[in-house]
Each structure stands twice: as C-alpha cells, then as structure tokens.
Amino acid sequence: MAEKNKSSDDLNNEMDALRDDLKKVQKDLRELGQTIVDVGRDSARAAGENARQQWDSGAEQFQQYVQDRPLHVVLGAFLAGLVAGMIFRR
C-alpha cells in the first residue's frame, strides 16, 4: 500500500511539473507571437514612411520640372488630350 501511495505521489509530482512546463511553453509562445507582431508593425511603419518619402521626392521633382519647362508640360497635356479624344471618339 505504501508503494502505491509513493508511485501515486510521484505521478502527481510529475503531472504538476508537466503543468508548470506547459504554462512556461504557453507563456514563451505568447511572447514570441507578440514579438513577431511588433516586428511586423515596425516593418510596416518603416515601409510606409519610406513610400511617403519617395512620393514626396517624386512630387518635388515633378514640381521642379513643371517650373523649369512649363511649355513642355502644356504641350504634353495637349497631346494627351488629343490622344484621349481620338480614343473616346470612336
């Protein structure tokens, strides 16, 4: 009978240790998931900021081109309008 109680106690101790280990694994997985989300969020913000900077740079370059060559821009717009008119006329 003492043998049964000892093996039962050992089994209970092992089950308790297993529960503790599983709780630690669960906590580690939760922290890993949060880290992955944080890294993804930071990457998305950096990509958005980079895209905004490139857009602003392109807009500034286009604005400078328009200021330097207004006749080219007006002629380009005129030709684009002619082509669009010919396409939509048919």
Which domain does 56 fall in, by range?
A: 2-89
pTM of the model: 0.56
> How many domains are contained in the chain?
1
- Residue 19 DSSP one-character state: H
Please give the pLDDT value at position 8: 84
Mean pLDDT, the chain, rounded, equals 92
- Give the HSE-up count for residue 36: Cα atoms under 13 Å, Cβ half-sphere: 6
Orientation of helix 70-89 relative to helix 2-68, angle to 10°: 110
